[in-house]
């Protein structure tokens, strides 16, 4: 883990600082540890075409532990790929993720049933994402 970030400072979406902040928050999250007692999934997300190029990050939960960070999950149960434009729209609640998936803007590979069965993991992760949303800049 990196140093604690200034909780008032803006963070650029998908930057290393943004990933580091979320890594710290996932590691410190009691709800994520509770979820990791009941679910196990290794999930990678790849966002292409952003200001810093393609960005890959992962969430791994299971056995009471939750880890978030840059790079792919290893091993990987599932992978989601989407464009920067789609990722920003979903992050800002301008586009529903389910609608984006149905319309082909989000591609899902791997064990799709495991992803469906692990929705509480993604709900808990979304709650953490929302803690940094107010200071996230999308440029």
Residues 95-108 pLDDT 10s: 998 899 999 999 99
CA dist list (Å): 22 to 59, 100, 120: 10, 24, 17
pLDDT of 44 over the 90 cut: yes
pLDDT of 138 over the 80 cut: yes
pLDDT confidence bin for 79, thresholds 50/70/90: very high
Domains and CATH numbers, the chain: 11-129 (3.30.1050.10)
Q: What is the pLDDT of residue 5?
A: 47
pLDDT of 1 over the 80 cut: no
Report the side by side order of strands in the sheet with 65-70.
65-70, 53-62, 41-50, 78-83, 106-110
Look-up: residue for tokens 């007692």? 37
């Amino acid at each position: 883990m990196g140093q604690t970030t200034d909780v008032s400072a803006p963070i650029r979406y998908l930057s290393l600082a943004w990933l580091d902040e979320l890594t710290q928050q996932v590691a410190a999250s009691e709800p994520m540890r509770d979820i990791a007692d009941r679910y196990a999934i290794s999930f990678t997300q790849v966002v292409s075409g952003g200001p810093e190029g393609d960005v890959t990050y992962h969430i791994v939960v299971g056995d009471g532990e939750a880890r978030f960070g840059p790079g792919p999950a290893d091993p990987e149960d599932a992978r989601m790929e989407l464009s920067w434009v789609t990722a920003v729209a979903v992050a800002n609640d301008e586009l529903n993720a389910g609608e984006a998936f149905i319309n082909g803007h989000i591609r899902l590979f791997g064990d799709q049933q495991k992803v469906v069965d692990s929705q509480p993991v993604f709900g808990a992760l979304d709650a953490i994402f929302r803690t940094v949303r107010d200071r996230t800049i999308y440029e």
